Every structure is written in C-alpha cells, then in structure tokens.
Amino acid sequence: MSEIRISPIHPEVVDVVWPAAREMLEPAVERANGRYHVDDVYDHIMSGDTVLWAVTSGRDMKAVYTTRLVEYPRCRAMEVAWMGGTGVEEWLDPMLEVLEDHASTNNCAHIEAFGRSGWTRMLKARGWGLDASSFRKELPNEGQ
C-alpha cells in the first residue's frame, strides 16, 4: 500500500485533475437539491474562494474535497463543503490531520462540514460533534 498524500491543488493546475475530481464530487453536489451544480464548485475553486484538495495513494487519486475560510462576526472557521472518493477508511484520518493543521494555520476557531448523516458515526469517533440539522420544505413555484 502506498502512502496517503493530501495536497491542495493550485487553481493554475486544477484543469489537469478536474475531470477525475468532477466525477468524484458530482454525487455530493447532486445531494444539494438544486442549490449547486458541480460547475459552480469549479467556479469557486478557480476564483480562489475555495481550495480543492486531492487525496492520493501512489499515482491514484482516491478522493477530493474542498475547503474555504468563513468569516463570522466573532470567529473564523474552515468549511468543508464537498467531498467525494473511495476508500474513506484508508485516508480519513490523514485527511483530518491535514485539515486540522490547515485550519489552525489559518487561525480558525473550528472546522465545520456539511454532509449526509452517514458521516456522524465516523466523525464522532474522531472527536467531532453534531452541530445542527438542516430541514427543508419544497415550495410550489408557479413560475417554473
């Protein structure tokens, strides 16, 4: 087994990995119920607002995720909005370590992540707590 590496992808080279990254991110973005399209994620990455990270093992890209800094009135946070890939058991702990280091380096008070409820058990075992639940009700839209 090759060593797991987690690296930020500079916007200048995103296009090299984007086809594979897009494929990994699409399932997560599709769960956003029409609020985002994967092209929106790409645009945020290319603007520098969001950082794309690659999780690799040898020459294989196992996963990708995005981070961005969030400025609240009383603190700064690191947000993980999108993640996709395979073999999470292999790379989750190294990824969380890099994420925590990156958040600390950027003077973040905490890290927040959004995802499906299946993450709760895995993250709770690693010191994360459930912050809130999101509720949604679709409304009829006569104009569409």
- Domain ranges in the chain are 4-124
Residue type, 69: L
Residue 142 — very low, low, confident or very high, per pLDDT cuts 50/70/90? low
What fold is seen in the domain 4-124?
Aminopeptidase (3.40.630)
pLDDT for position 2: 75
Token couple for 99: 């994420």
Give per-residue pLDDT as tens, 69-123: 999 999 999 999 999 999 999 999 999 999 999 999 999 999 998 877 777 778 8
Between residues 51 and 129, the one the model is more confident about: 51
